[in-house]
Amino acid sequence: MKRIMFVCKKNSARSQMAEGFARTLGAGRISVTSSGLEASQVRPEAVAAMREVGIDITDQTSKPLSDFNPEDFDVVISLCGCGVNLPPDWVLRDIFEDWQLDDPAEQPEIFPRVRDEIKVRVEALLAQIAPA
């Protein structure tokens, strides 16, 4: 079972939505968590955007990347272009991608668009690493 880490700056929106999609769409096929270069709070807009597509992320919490060990993950996905700021061990996992998605925290009206972009990318990732 592949183990995925989604990482972002604050683990408040993009990485949380990615975790929610991966947990739901890859249930039983993958293990997934998310974290941030620093921890904060899950944004209510992210919770609302995911609720609109039938996924509940209210139980997810923001966690610092420093709480985890890179060797515990096969796949590391950066969602904010922060890959350059990750310690080298994180970038050297079996699969590392830097998706560089717009930050909806800066413009809350784009939450639905960013959510939908994340879903497409998570579906493609799951098809690659854990086909149904």
Query: Which residues are known catalytic residues?
Result: 8, 80
Burial of 68 (0-12, 13-18, 19+ CB in 10 A): middle
Contact 122, 22 (CB under 8 A): yes
d(Cα 98, Cα 102) in Å, to the nearest integer?
A: 12
